[in-house]
Structure 1
Amino acid sequence: MSEDTNQAASGRGARTRAQRGASKPHGQWKIDGTEPLNANEQFKQDDSGLNVRARIENAYAKGGFASIDPTDLHGRFRWWGLYTQRKPGIDGGRTATLEPHELEDEYFMLRVRIDGGQLTTEQLRVIGTISTEFARGSADLTDRQNIQLHWIRVEDVPEIWRRLEAVGLGTTEACGDVPRVVLGSPVAGISSEELIDPTPQIDEITERFIGDPDLANLPRKFKTAITGHPSQDVVHEINDVAFVAVTHPEYGVGYDVWVGGALATVPRLGERLGAWAAPDQVADVWHGVVRIFRDYGYRRLRNKARLKFLLADWGVTKFREVLETEYLGYRLADGPAPVRPTGPGDHVGVHPQKDGRVYVGATPIVGRVSGERLTALADLIEEHGSARLRTTPHQKLVILDIPADRTESLIAGLDGLVLSARPSLIRRGTIACTGIEYCKLAIVDTKDTAERAVRDLEERFADTDLPAPLSLHVNGCPNSCARIQTADIGLKGQIITDDAGNQVPGFQVHLGGGLASPDREEAGLGRTVRGLKVTADGISDYVERVARRYADGREGGESFAQWAHRVDDEVLT
């Protein structure tokens, strides 16, 4: 904890708390002081999550799972990208009734942090080999540009870190109450359309601040996104802080600053500060925003501990004022809003690079790959004259630097790895979270359920495909890791009652959500229809039915979201 934070907490904080009267403190360090108000805050103050690495390497990896201190296991391990995974055979109906130690297995999910989604084939091959040797071949692309592995034993973690770090990768602060991975445009530096390459800004943030002990105890997670591409390809509206490239009429190309976005059970879209940041100001603005969250964020109740709740209470005017006066020491220029995105942000298909070569975006099915496929992909990319690729915030992969005359050969090779550069619209638009297979919070299966639905719908629409691009996001619990409120059709996992009166895995349906896109100027959250739920094995029937109704009932060029918000409830059931 920094000295300036302690001083502010002891003086000014006490006065502000007195002004609030008898109301319970929120746990804001600069207002209420730094005394922990719950067990989660206590363990973070007792010992930084960053310190657990030494114990993993020197004690737990040697003593095995049984030797791990419970507070480290359920708390500090997250600071190094490690969560215990769900024990097989525990059905979703018991998720909320069992304690974490009753749900967990003696294996871990390990999250490899990939800032900006930037990978070399050497790095990809290392991840693939780790998956094959230590993770039973598991590998999932996330919608935060990371790769997650499963079935990891604590005994193997030091060797995995050694291999990752040897090629410039790691797991530092991949989870925990810290600055998580920085989302970046998957085509940064190579697209012929981008306004600016955000890679220098991403590098400065990660090099200066990731692993900084002063930022290793935030109220909760802190998510960042930066893009210089006009497709606005980093889901900026649902990040705690985001920088979106715009052209200032006086100062040129820089970034529009957004704050306070997040989904989960209380979704809130981010808001513009109305401020323009020059490229060389971005890291300092980021640092200011994350310190506001550290010092003023709500810590007493964990379900209120995201930045979005502070922004909701403060508003953007006060937030910007505090940022500029207390943390930056100067006023940012006012700036213009981003224009409507120019195209899809998933970058699927073949696109020109600024150097005459092409990049190719490919779609796995709901982000699921494997160590063997990742290793084979590294070989395939190198065979086609490249050594670079990117992950995306849409569970996709983008292969860079392909000679134009090698494109079809690459696409054929990708097809052989079940990575389609010309996917059906339903395969392209479907993402899914980890689900009950590995996640202790999940209630239903997601990956296999979503894959079955994709394949079934591809058969049903084999002759015509969907009437328009359609996003289908499948989530195993209410926490919205798969962004259900911002999908055309978002499915929130729960146990439901089927027509025969049986309790079965199913989903509540959200309709008509979406982020800024060529079809909509502004992001918006989906609507729910009272009582509208589908069983896990009824997804295909429902999606086909509502898609055909949309095709028959839309007016002019109406998007699915526009149609879903316009029509009566009965049309959507």
Structure 2
Amino acid sequence: MSTPARPANRHHKRPRGEGQWALGYREPLNKNEENKKNDDGLNVRQRIIDVYSKRGFDSIDPADLRGRFRWFGLYTQRRPGIDGGKTAILEPEELDDRYFMLRVRIDGGQLSLEQLRVIADISNEYGRGTADITDRQNIQLHWIEVEAVPDIWERLEAVGLSTMEACGDTPRVILGCPLAGIDADEVIDGTAQIHEIDERYIGSPEFSNLPRKFKTAISGCQAHCTVHEINDIAFVGVVNERGEQGFDVWVGGGLSTNPMFAKRLGAFVRPEQVHEVWAGVCGIFRDYGYRRLRHRARIKFLINDWGAEKFREVLETEYLKYELPDGPAPAVPRDVRRDHVGVRPQKDGNFYVGFAPKVGRVNGDKLHEIADIAERHGATRVRTTVEQKMVILDVAPDQVDSIVTDLEAADLQVNPSTFRRQTMACTGIEFCKLAIVETKATAADLIDELEKRLPDFTEPLTINVNGCPNSCARIQVADIGLKGQLVTNDKGEQVEGFQVHLGGSVGLNPNFGRKVRGLKATTEELPDYVERVVRNFEKQKNEGETFSEWVQRADEADLK
């Protein structure tokens, strides 16, 4: 008896494409792609100036409000009073407040005192005094009304600052070492390369419609302070076998809900080639990046599927049209703490002074105070860091003691505890529409409590506090990573709390840490929990063993 023929393709559907332009998938496959195809995000600027700032919030087209506004650093902030349990349930328009977060783009973290004061004035006049230093060297303001945006842009642009492509599916701010050009130990100064990419490509329609955000780091710092392992593209200073300075290129790092470390392409990039290689990698992402599913649209998924060898081959043959020579890997970081807090010598005989605002939270008055302290001591340049900290450059030897005294008096710690130095927090439920829990105040209170309970603890220990699973505060590479969620307390009530990730790290032994089954803590329990696990580490650690190394071998009971 013959078997009846099956309907064609019923069980053997052709695999769906990933929406890659280079393979002919030009039709938008989701709302975000449709929105970008309908109008380039860069075009919203003129509508904000001509229409929305004059007619007010209610005149804003929803496709601009929740889409293209991001191309100029603007997100609606969370409406007050909406608890974390409703974050994933409510529609965007129910979460939206009528105010905006405004992200000021600070490439390389480089600021003059004039620029810092302009940001401070905007914060005080238009942002209710708010200001947060982010872990990507930007400064974010809140409570911004659309009517104020054109004046804010005018003021920022008058001093060489911008909000262009600070958010959105674009090349975001370029990270750089805050000590670029002054650090006596640096392999190479990447400042010129940051400026060249910024001038050539930022704000250009060539790269204003990427599948998702694209994060860049360029640094020759021996501390590896820009964390090249978790950027979409990173150029890391190296010296090749001929003694030439250049860069090693890494592609495809990123955290969020699918964390991946960047892959080395193994190529040596001369300083004058950096902008071409950057544009080539960005072009591959634009053309071959996955656009069908938003959660698979970062470049890390593409290079994970292709592998570094194929990626480099496509880069050289289709985009650069020349081969790159092989090159050395970067040296290991010179210190476990990959930051620039404290007083250290510059190569010109002056000193830099790195200090720690608590979890990056400052305000307009505090930014003015920082500028005043720097100016009083003859300094004209300040820097932001990727650890939510700041650095004042060019302090003369005879001014060091005085500037440290003034900063410490302003609660800007130059010699902070480990907890103040190495705790960071994302924006959290106070302003963020994705957040489930409060983060900034929680982290600040945790620091205060740990300083009281563990005054003699001096080992390196990163504590990263995140309000949702998206890992803006890099929870998977922290010693103690805290991911916000609602948890059940001992009375059976749902309250704010955190899932705990332990032992994540970058550098010599990169790993995404250890999740212990059921390891959660309410916000109230956090100080007790962290104190307990830190004391266990102190008791059990071997000579020279880091917290991350200890976590990998510790018994689960000692981690709970």
Shorter-normalised TM range: over 0.9
- Judging changes above 3 Å, is the alpha-carbon distance between structure 1 residues 334 and 189 closer, same or farther for their aligned structure 2 residues? same
The structure 1 residue matched to 2:485, chosen from 478, 481, 494, is: 494
DSSP 3-state at the match of 1:369: strand
TM-score (norm 1): 0.95
Cα distance per residue 1:237-272 (max 9 Å; x no partner): 000000101110025111111000000000001010
- In the alignment, what sits opposite 1:226? 218
Separation in 2, partners of 1:241, 1:557? 32
DSSP 3-state at the match of 1:322: helix
- In the alignment, what sits opposite 1:507? 498
1:523 offset after TM fit, Å?
2.0
Separation in 2, partners of 1:277, 1:253? 9
- In the alignment, what sits opposite 2:430? 437
| Alignment RMSD (CA, Å) | 1.0
Residues 26, 32 of structure 1: 8 Å contact kept: no
Residues 108, 174 of structure 2: 8 Å contact kept: yes
The structure 2 residue matched to 1:484, chosen from 475, 485, 498, is: 475
Q: After TM superposition, which residue ranges in structure 1, 4 or more long, deviate above 2 angstroms?
A: none
The structure 2 residue matched to 1:162, chosen from 154, 172, 175, is: 154
Separation in 1, partners of 2:22, 2:487? 45
Separation in 2, partners of 1:311, 1:64? 43
The structure 2 residue matched to 1:551, chosen from 529, 533, 538, is: 538
Identity, % of aligned positions = 60
Residues 467, 551 of structure 1: 8 Å contact kept: no
1:408 offset after TM fit, Å?
1.3
DSSP 3-state at the match of 2:358: coil
Matched, 1:381 2:374: yes
1:336 offset after TM fit, Å?
0.9
1:493 offset after TM fit, Å?
0.2
Cα distance per residue 1:53-79 (max 9 Å; x no partner): 000000000000001001000000000
The structure 2 residue matched to 1:181, chosen from 173, 189, 204, is: 173
Between 1:249-258 and 1:439-448, the stretch displaced more is: 249-258
Residues 17, 25 of structure 2: 8 Å contact kept: no
Q: Which amino acid aligns with 1:535?
A: T
Residues 417, 458 of structure 2: 8 Å contact kept: no
Q: Which amino acid aligns with 1:432?
A: A
Separation in 1, partners of 2:262, 2:32? 26
Separation in 2, partners of 1:527, 1:432? 20
Map 1:317-328 onto structure 2 (within 5 A): 317-328=309-320
- In the alignment, what sits opposite 1:87? 79
Separation in 1, partners of 2:180, 2:415? 22
1:467 offset after TM fit, Å?
4.8
Matched, 1:112 2:81: no
1:345 offset after TM fit, Å?
2.3
The structure 2 residue matched to 1:338, chosen from 312, 330, 334, is: 330
Residues 350, 359 of structure 1: 8 Å contact kept: yes
- In the alignment, what sits opposite 2:6? none
DSSP 3-state at the match of 2:360: coil
Residues 457, 544 of structure 1: 8 Å contact kept: yes
Residues 241, 260 of structure 1: 8 Å contact kept: yes
- Judging changes above 3 Å, is the alpha-carbon distance between structure 1 residues 544 and 324 closer, same or farther for their aligned structure 2 residues? same
Separation in 1, partners of 2:236, 2:215? 14
- In the alignment, what sits opposite 2:241? 249
- In the alignment, what sits opposite 1:390? 383
Separation in 2, partners of 1:538, 1:383? 43
Separation in 2, partners of 1:253, 1:540? 46
Map 1:147-296 onto structure 2 (within 5 A): 147-250=139-242, 252-296=244-288
5+ long unaligned stretches in structure 1: 1-19
DSSP 3-state at the match of 2:500: strand
Map 1:34-45 onto structure 2 (within 5 A): 34-45=26-37
1:303 offset after TM fit, Å?
0.3
DSSP 3-state at the match of 1:139: strand
1:500 offset after TM fit, Å?
1.7
Q: Which amino acid aligns with 1:316?
A: A
Separation in 2, partners of 1:235, 1:537? 31
The structure 2 residue matched to 1:528, chosen from 512, 515, 527, is: 515
Q: Which amino acid aligns with 1:405?
A: D
- In the alignment, what sits opposite 1:469? 460
The structure 2 residue matched to 1:297, chosen from 272, 289, 293, is: 289
Separation in 1, partners of 2:54, 2:229? 44
1:379 offset after TM fit, Å?
1.1
Residues 136, 173 of structure 2: 8 Å contact kept: yes
Count of paired positions: 548
Residues 467, 548 of structure 1: 8 Å contact kept: no
TM-score (norm 2): 0.97
Separation in 2, partners of 1:144, 1:454? 22
